[in-house]
Structure 1
Amino acid sequence: MNQDNIGLLPLFDDDECTPSLVILHAPGDETQVVAVYLHRKWWSVDEVLKTSSKFRSGLVVVGSIMERIVLFLMSQIVFGFLERTPGEHLYFSPHPMKEFAKIFWQDGEAVGFYTIKKKGTLCNRWTGQSYLLPVLDNVFVRMQWRRKGLALQMLEDFCSSFPKEEVVGLSYPMSASMHEVCRKYLQIHQEQRDRLYEVESPGDWSQRRNVWLKLQLNHHPTNSEAHESEQLGMLEDRRDRGAERGLMRDRM
């Protein structure tokens, strides 16, 4: 261990001074995070993603700084590098400090998460526009727990969390796998077919596409088409090409 394989990662995507996480990466490869320094001790990523709390089961709202660290590790390290799907070209930006999120805990381990842009939340820090409806922004399930219905449970939880909203949204662009999750959800919950929309921020009616209608017209992307849309610059500001600008923001 030396200065060359220790780095700092900012935890939040905020203008204000943000705390950083001290990480240890493999020599010569900043993408291979080996350990995280917490409570004066080095921990593997897998160790940090586990809990002994009996209250952490199912979907739990992120509240504590430790839960924020778990969310960061899943979005930036696990999804970003350790469990990337071959051919995947999307990256999650670090979430703002006050971003609403839920972590899916199962058998004492963090196995997934989702984040929401609440109605009235600023779209970004460069404009004064705010979201006009609640939007499911990021959804992630770790590789070992995929194809077990967890993404479907998260979508159901999101939609049921806003019973007074006539319309709820999913951030554009939706992946091919998310289209399939939506198909299953809307086949089960037919009453939601007029309520669920794919939206671009801030989400006025000209920026909304009904998900069920889109599925019926087969207007959903394959993985290769999603990659092409990225090359055309159609990805949102919230998804960042972290690999291109380098994982390490600061060096010790």
Structure 2
Amino acid sequence: MNAELILQARGLRKSFGALQAVDGVNLDLRKGDITGLIGPNGAGKSTLFGLIAGETRPSSGQVLFQGHDITGMKPEQVFRHGLARTFQIPRPFRKMTVLENVMCAAPNQSGERFWSNWIQPGVVAQQERENRARAEDVLAFCNLTHMTQEMAGSLSGGQQKLLELARVMMAEPRLILLDEPTAGVNPSLIEHLIDRVVELNARGVSFLIVEHNMDLVMRICARIVVMAQGRRIAEGTPAEVTVDRKVIDAYLGEVPA
């Protein structure tokens, strides 16, 4: 695997009956990049996310992450390898507090093993304190400290998107897949969410972002991958993609001014 690449997908295919949702997609993601994934509705973007994150088993093809073959792994296994994702529609534990939601995402918790609570109660308690402190730091980073004891179900759509980002941060992932992070989000929160993404990227976290907000994509993405009808039809810098005739015909409709 190229040392500069964090993820490679080769010949990924996924069929649902007669529908070829993802059709032989190759994808290279460079370490440290924010990469945009765009295309019309039904292009196969969310299915591709699912194949990479382990939620969907590919019909064929391979996914390599940091040199490891993660093809067909379960989502929790992929997560433990350092690859995390958020969802277009957030999935918090609605009847748990914001703090509890974030603490639940901490990896390798001793307290999850029943006997540890009896045999090593001191270790479990110490880890609980460390996870709480870490969760509080993450919530402060996401500007959610004032919501710590609120039920997650009471948060606005934008706050839930920030909560999802906070949860994946608990695992300190090297690559985060963001599925339409600004959809349904108040404009003021959009700017804060994007600031957090840019700050995490400056700390070395790579991103692959599905997003319909083209202004945002053009602003923060180093490279853009374009899909249509399950296939990758173009890839390049924002400037290159916006003048690509295949992209214009399939998605943009016209060259932006």
Q: Same fold per TM (> 0.5)?
A: no
Choose between structure 1 and 2: higher helix proportion. Answer: 2
Whose relative contact order is higher, 1 or 2, with alpha carbons under 8 Å and at least 6 apart?
Answer: 2
State the TM-score, normalized to the length of structure 1: 0.29
